[in-house]
Structure 1
Amino acid sequence: MTINIIDHFNEYFEMVPAISDELKLEVYKLRYQVYCIENLFLNPGHYPDNLEVDDFDPQSVHYLIRHRKSGEYAATTRLILPGTDNPEKLFPLELYCEIDNSGVMQPINREHLGEVSRFCVSKEFKKRKNETHTLAAIGPDQQDYFTSDERRAFPLISLALIACVIKVSHENDIRYLYATMERSLLQFLSALGINFIKIGPQGDYHGPRWPTVIKITDLLDCVAEKKPNIWNFLTNEGSFGQTRPIEKPSKAVRSNSWVGT
């Protein structure tokens, strides 16, 4: 029997848009925990209120992944939008990474370009060997911690964050995505048909990462060909304007997972 991954994810988690001040505080608290305490990518002394906030947050849309049973927030990400008054304003990737593949970037209108940023999962949902110091919770051999059914849903947390980014992109007419990517996440996404293009050498940006870019329609077309069930998950079964066929529609994701919409 084939598991419906939408229903499987939705049984244990929900995607929450951080549109209130209270939810944004949850975002900043989780980022502080992951970036300053768990991984030491940022100096916790610079954040005396235990909130990891930066200058790009006001021009970003934030999402959280909430564990239903505990009410804890498992993961978060944001999409940094182009500057409203200044589309030429540089993104973090452009400030901190070297870009040497300008040919890929040449046709991109910056008004339709965003950056996936602060893509991270709490250590409580990375109880797997070799995952403690990865941000995206990608790795083999889960240890006993949650129920076996819950553990099988853990790889979907990262996919859920990508689904949130795709939704935000659709709502804000973003067609291209910047992202700084660690090796494990690049490999995980490539296996699904999500092929970010490296546009510069590996650098040290919250750990060893590459600057990358992807066109969202290319992302979704490749996933639709390779993993149609993943395409359904990423697009909320085509509700963001995509036109791929849906084999087995599921109402669960619409009624329960995409809260606040």
Structure 2
Amino acid sequence: MNRFLFFLLMIQNVFSQDIPSNVQKLMKAYPNQIVGYKDNKLIFSDKSTLVYDDFKKKNNQELIENPDIEDQFRFVYSKIDKNSMPKEDAGRIRNEAFFKKIYGNSQTEVASKMVEIIWCPKLVNQKIKVTTVNGIDKIVKKLSAELDNHPEFQKYIQNIGGTFNWRKISGTNRLSMHSFGMTMDINVKKSNYWQWDCQCQNENATLSYRNQIPLKLVAIFEKYGFIWGGNWKHYDTMHFEYRPELLD
């Protein structure tokens, strides 16, 4: 190794050590938007910034309602196969300002980055809209092509319940991730959702975990960077959301 290359590697190592590991995951997942980190702030390509860590202690409700970006990593998303009640909500904590910076600050801005694709042409042949941000449309096409070779999953992946839909989460003032075109609900008739099952919206309700989605199907979605809502204590088994930073 020549001296110049060694010097560059040393600089890279020092630079990486100054950036929290979870920030590095964000920079890797969203390279066209997040271009740097300094003084506890993410730096975006338009030179705007967002605070990474507000250093506030929060209970579970506060994490859901008022998280910072660092809080999104509070719980570790596990890909371990299971059909039992998850203990945490890994991936359900979301800083809305962050996702607006990545995908668009308004319905119009998000919509301008959407394209229509054919979901599973052989098994389903349904038109859906997804975002082009960071090539997510191309990733969804690859996911679709792989699922198209699994007829055993057809009943789960047909009748897609929703991709792009700018709206608030029912009973809250928080934007749904469907607002950004990087989320997919598969067949509602084969799915379970905690609010439907408990017939309530109480985050502190005692829940009994229910799931009909094959875990082998979940693993294929995870392969392409999508986390699964069935992996949450407040489960939403139809829900898949592009969050590769949590799968790294």
Task: Report if TM-score (shorter chain) is over 0.5.
Answer: no
Select the structure that is richer in strand: 1
